[in-house]
């Protein structure tokens, strides 16, 4: 992979000098006049491939808007570097007449497939071998098509992708894969959303009114009377749960396969489709969101419609089995220009600019854009996700609301409860600071991946493993422990960075530490916070028992 992906600091000393020499830049970038080495964001390389009428410009079936969204990272800890490729000689693509076996796929971290071509599959065995090796090496894959067999040419033979989403029509696939929904008739998947009492028209897919999706909500017990519910992290945005997508009159379908025991051989190399994880389990695909449409009368575009709920987003947690993750979506109309920026030639004024046509549209579009960026983060390699965590925490340590509020001289004198209270105080502020850019799910994941929590506690922390079935092995942990751990561990990590790397004017100490050294600091201090939290809860429980004993005696 390119060296830049693993570099910790910016190499541009001249840039740092310019920042230090400019009062304006120092105010904006270094609010407290702290001159510290600027961390390079983790670079995630994404190869986006399409075919047929798909493209990367402003055409209706273009991905120009998606590229614009990915050009803006969710935070300073990551940057998406996109390479575009087309199967044909399309002028909008950087790589034309693209073939997977003719490209060094190791330079990429993710492959996004927007298949438009129908059956039959046109990928050769050497190409499928290259993709399978990429996935086996930890590379992530996103894949989508549309109704019937649209997308089957590119996607229908890719391992795991082939049976996480329906690609075949009008007959089942060669391995028994189910038939995809039709483009017409009352059995189609039509998510167009009615605007008041208006008759639904085709161009409603291009307006500022989205469909409402149904994220699968996972629960964890907080105590014997309270559950916490949360979505998969991909559907968790800075503004909360992502519940909307662009709508369309004939979508495809994602599903949870039961066929998990196949091995495919491409050009003499065998690939187990669903490997067994280290713990002996076999991770399986999960549908994490559903779409729904109600009965519709014949006057609406495309006629009558039967009510139905169907899978619209599915994931495969490949990291558990030491291979790449996968995400599939029911339709590329969630991503194409015509559904995001509108149809300039439409006679419907609300369809001309898409979500940009109104304040309400722009508001909901924030969540849709968060979904796009979440996909890119979710599909990254494990080492990259770990590096994002390190750099996010390092950035938070220098954010002015935290940097100006740290009590570095006092914290060294405090012990026990006083130290824990200070960790929780700073951790609460840091959670708010990170929450301006990252989702609550992302922050929780970062914090509880800092240290090694006991498994009996880790099982009850959402959303560390949202698709795992919860099987409590013993009594529930005290609810107070679950509630104070996140701010305590986060605050301790922030303080660790501040106490251990005081000479931040000189980049050399941080360069020597690198991601690994900073992770060790974060782990050590968060481990201390864990022990302080456990001791605090033990003392609280003992006080509670003493109180209840006295209370019981008073009743006699």
pLDDT of residue 32: 34
- Identify the H or E element spanning 245: strand 244-245
What is the DSSP secondary structure assignment for residue 308, as one 8-state letter? Answer: E
- Identify the H or E element spanning 386: helix 382-398
List, in sequence order, every residue forming a beta bridge with 333; answer none if it has no partner.
none
CA atoms of 53 and 47, how far apart (whole Å): 18
- Identify the H or E element spanning 423: helix 416-435
Q: Which two tokens stand for residue 220?
A: 């964890």
What phi, psi does 391 have (nearest 5°)? -75, -30
pLDDT string in tens for the chain (556-residue length) = 333 455 555 554 555 555 556 554 454 444 333 334 457 789 999 999 999 999 999 999 999 999 999 999 898 889 999 999 999 999 999 999 999 999 999 999 999 999 999 999 999 999 999 999 999 999 999 999 999 999 999 999 999 999 999 999 999 999 999 999 999 899 999 999 999 989 999 999 999 999 999 999 987 666 555 667 889 999 999 999 999 999 999 999 999 999 999 999 999 999 999 999 998 999 999 999 999 988 888 888 889 999 999 999 999 999 999 999 999 999 999 999 999 999 999 999 999 999 999 999 999 999 999 999 999 999 999 999 999 999 899 889 888 889 889 999 999 999 999 999 999 999 999 999 999 889 988 998 898 888 777 666 666 676 666 666 555 556 666 777 778 888 999 999 999 999 988 655 556 777 778 888 889 999 999 999 999 998 998 888 888 788 778 877 888 7
CA atoms of 113 and 220, how far apart (whole Å): 34
Q: Report the Cα 298 to chain-centroid distance in Å.
A: 39
CA atoms of 15 and 27, how far apart (whole Å): 15
pLDDT of residue 31: 37
What phi, psi does 394 have (nearest 5°)? -65, -40
Minimal CA–CA distance to 61: which of 116, 3, 109? 116
Minimal CA–CA distance to 66: which of 368, 489, 441? 368
> Is 62 in contact with 97 (CB distance < 8 Å)?
no
Radius of gyration of the chain (CA): 26
Contacts of 507 (CB under 8 A, 6+ apart): 9, 37
CA atoms of 302 and 192, how far apart (whole Å): 11
Give the three-class secondary structure for 551: helix
The domain spans of the chain are 41-380, 385-551
Q: Which two tokens stand for residue 255?
A: 């599903």
């Amino acid at each position: 992979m390119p060296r830049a992906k693993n570099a910790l600091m910016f190499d541009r000393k001249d840039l740092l000098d310019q920042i230090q020499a400019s009062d304006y830049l120092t105010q904006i970038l270094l609010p407290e006049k702290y001159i510290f080495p600027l961390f390079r964001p983790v670079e995630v390389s994404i190869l986006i491939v399409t075919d047929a009428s798909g493209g990367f410009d402003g055409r209706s079936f273009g991905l120009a808007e998606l590229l614009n969204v990915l050009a803006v990272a969710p935070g300073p800890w990551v940057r998406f570097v996109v390479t575009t490729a087309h199967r044909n000689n399309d002028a909008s693509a950087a790589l034309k007449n693209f073939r997977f076996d003719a490209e060094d796929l190791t330079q990429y971290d993710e492959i996004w497939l927007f298949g438009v071509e129908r059956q039959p599959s046109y990928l050769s065995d050497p190409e499928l071998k290259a993709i399978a090796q990429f996935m086996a090496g930890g590379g992530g894959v996103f894949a989508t098509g549309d109704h019937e067999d649209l997308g089957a040419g590119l996607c229908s033979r890719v391992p795991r992708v082939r049976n996480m989403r329906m690609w075949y029509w009008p007959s089942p696939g060669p391995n028994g894969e189910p038939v995809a929904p039709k483009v017409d008739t009352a059995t189609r998947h039509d998510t167009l959303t009615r605007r008041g009492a208006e008759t639904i028209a085709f161009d409603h897919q291009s307006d500022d009114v989205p469909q409402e999706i149904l994220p699968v909500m996972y629960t964890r017990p907080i105590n014997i009377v309270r559950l916490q519910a949360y979505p998969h992290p991909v559907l968790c945005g800075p503004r909360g749960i992502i519940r909307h997508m662009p709508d369309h009159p004939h979508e495809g379908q994602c599903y949870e396969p039961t066929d998990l025991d196949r091995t495919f051989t491409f050009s003499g190399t065998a690939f187990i489709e669903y490997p067994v994880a280290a713990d002996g389990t076999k991770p399986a695909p999960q549908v994490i969101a559903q779409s729904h449409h109600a009965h519709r009368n014949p006057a609406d575009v495309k006629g009558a419609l039967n009510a139905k709920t169907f899978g619209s987003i599915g994931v495969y947690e490949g990291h558990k089995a030491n291979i790449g993750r996968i995400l599939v979506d029911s339709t590329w109309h969630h991503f194409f220009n015509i559904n995001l920026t509108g149809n300039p030639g439409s006679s419907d004024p609300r369809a001309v600019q898409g979500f940009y046509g109104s304040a309400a549209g722009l508001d909901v579009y924030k969540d849709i854009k968060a979904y796009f960026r979440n996909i890119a983060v979710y599909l990254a390699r494990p080492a990259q996700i770990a590096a994002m965590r390190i750099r996010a925490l390092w950035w938070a340590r220098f954010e002015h609301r935290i940097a100006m509020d740290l009590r570095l001289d006092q914290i060294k004198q405090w012990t026990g409860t006083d130290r824990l209270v200070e960790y929780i105080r700073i951790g609460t502020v840091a959670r708010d600071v990170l929450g301006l850019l990252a989702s609550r799910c992302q922050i929780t994941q970062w914090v509880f991946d800092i240290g090694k929590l006991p498994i009996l506690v880790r099982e009850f922390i959402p959303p560390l493993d949202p698709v795992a079935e919860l099987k409590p092995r013993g009594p529930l942990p005290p609810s107070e422990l679950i509630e104070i751990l996140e701010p305590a561990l986060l605050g301790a990590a922030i303080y660790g960075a501040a106490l251990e790397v005081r000479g931040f004017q000189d980049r050399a100490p941080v360069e020597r530490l690198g991601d690994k050294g900073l992770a060790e600091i974060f782990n050590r201090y968060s481990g201390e916070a864990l022990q302080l939290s456990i001791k605090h809860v033990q003392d609280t429980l003992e006080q509670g028992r003493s109180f209840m004993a006295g209370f019981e005696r008073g009743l006699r």
